[in-house]
Structure 1
């Protein structure tokens, strides 16, 4: 047993059902979610206007001659009895042509149930894109030197003389760590 809660929506807010509302009626409707059993409340001056429930075609042509339902009491309430679109226009065709009209789409009734495992299709695995080919520079064997053989030792800092342009031989060996971390082991020698 489930309880459904219905809401009462005041069409046009504080403006009510008027020719020039502060917010376009359809923009207002788009901001709200309507369900079966919710109600619309149309507030207007009795005798000076009305609300007509019409077909889609009559909505777009502002045809007031053949409404599905006519509300005229000034405090009109309309309750949604089904899901789908509802089309409302002013009973005065000139007002409708000026924009006093409203489309409300009522959401479909959703029944809460869990899908059975046998009826849901299996989701195929998403293939991963192929890895791009890697091009590594050729690695030369380092010349024997007096450098420590421990790869975890920090690389020696070049002397001021080497920084200023003395001739030196640099051999590099690159090791890949993870995906994008590169460590360079530099062996320095001189001619």
Structure 2
């Protein structure tokens, strides 16, 4: 009975190791939730330029806007010109709930502005360049509100710790 249990364990380990090796040990890049402005949210006191720096947005990600009614609404506009001039005359959509979850369903650039022109002109606006889902992610700083996990870089070992652990367990089952 013990021999059949060890054989079953060996088969399971071989399948796991084969899976890891077959996939190159790479992790699948997960869809991410980005909380705009981190702890401060969508607020004139937020440093959105710093928050945006080094951040990547991919198809399938979501951006979360948290704001109070005092800050006004959030307008999504169509063009770079509308974005740069804080032109709210023809928005694509107005967001009014105070908590908005916006799915980034396709590639391209999206522009968001404060509906209060004075806040927009002081920098309460955001442009998001949505990149393809397939390309590798760049690791983001730790100031990401706890919603993002770094992806493997080009220097990541072939399969990493999981592969090594699998080999140790396999050696244990084989009896080395």
User: How far has the Cα of 1:4 moved from its partner?
Assistant: 6.5
Once the two structures are superposed, what CA deviation does each residue of 1:110-168 show, in whole Å capped at 9, x if it has no partner? 389xxxxxxxxxxxxxxxxxxxxxxxxxxxxxxxxxxxxxxxxxxxxxxxxxxxxxxxx
Structure 1 SS opposite 2:57: coil
Distance 1:84 1:30, change over 3 A: farther
Counterparts of residues 29-68 of structure 1 (less than 5 Å)? 29-46=52-69, 48-54=71-77, 55-68=79-92
Counterpart contact for 2:57–2:130, Cα < 8 Å: yes
> In the TM superposition, what is the alpha-carbon distance from 1:44 to its structure 2 partner?
0.7
Two-structure CA RMSD over aligned residues (Å): 2.0
Q: Normalising by the residue count of structure 1, what TM-score does the alignment of the two structures yield?
A: 0.52
Which structure's CA Rg is the greater one?
1
| Number of corresponding residues | 108
Q: What corresponds to 1:168 in structure 2? A: none
Structure 1 residue 20 displacement after superposition: 2.0
TM-score (norm 2): 0.56
Is the aligned partner of 1:74 residue 2:94?
no
Q: CA deviation at 1:12?
A: 0.4
Give the deviation of 1:36 after TM superposition: 0.6
- CA-CA distance at 1:47 after TM superposition: 5.7
Segments of structure 1 that go 5 or more residues without pairing to the other structure are 113-191
Matched with 1:185 is: none
- Which structure's residues are more often strand, by fraction? 1
- In structure 2, do the counterparts of structure 1 residues 92 and 35 end up closer, same or farther at CA, with 3 Å as the change threshold? same
Residues 60, 133 of structure 2: 8 Å contact kept: no
Residue 96 of structure 2 is aligned to residue 95 of structure 1: no
Q: Confirm whether residue 84 of structure 1 aligns to residue 123 of structure 2.
A: no
Query: What is the distance in 2 between the residues matched to 1:47 and 1:76?
Result: 16
